[in-house]
Homo-oligomer: A and B are copies of this chain.
Amino acid sequence: MAEEQENVIYVGNKPPMNYVLAAITQLNSGVNQVAIKARGRAISRAVDVAEIVRRRFVTDAQIKDVKIYTEELTNEEGNKINVSCIEIYLARE
């Protein structure tokens, strides 16, 4: 696994605190930064995760960048669908 991949938290449909814990662990591992990524409806949850980490647990962490973009996926019927994505970069000073 590429080292870059290890710094990424993919936010899905689990409770936010699962991802919060993963992000805290990452930020305390010596890497000091993490990318929180999500697609579609999980985007709102990714923002919650970043904000909970920053405000409640790792108060010296800051949001360095937020990117939004669109990915084109192919569904089971073979149709192309567009899905919105977010990447939130959180880092300790």
Asked if residues B69 and A66 are in contact (CB atoms below 8 Å), the reply is: no
Whether the Cβ atoms of A84 and B51 lie closer than 8 Å is yes
- CB of A80 closer than 8 Å to a CB of B: no
Which residues of the other chain, B, contact A85 by a CB distance below 8 angstroms?
47
Identical chains in the assembly:
2
From B43, B51, B68, give the contact of A69 (CB < 8 A): B51
| Contact between chains at A44 and B84 (CB < 8 Å) | yes
* Interface magnitude class on chain A: 20 to 34
| Chain B residues positioned under 8 Å from A55 (CB to CB) | 70, 82
Q: A41-B44, A43-B43, A44-B84 are in contact. Are A51 and B67 (CB under 8 A)?
A: no
Q: How far is the CA of A50 from the CA of B42 in the complex (A)?
A: 17
Instruction: Identify which of B40, B41, B50 contacts A68 (C-beta below 8 A).
Output: B50
Cα–Cα, bound, A66→B47 (Å): 12
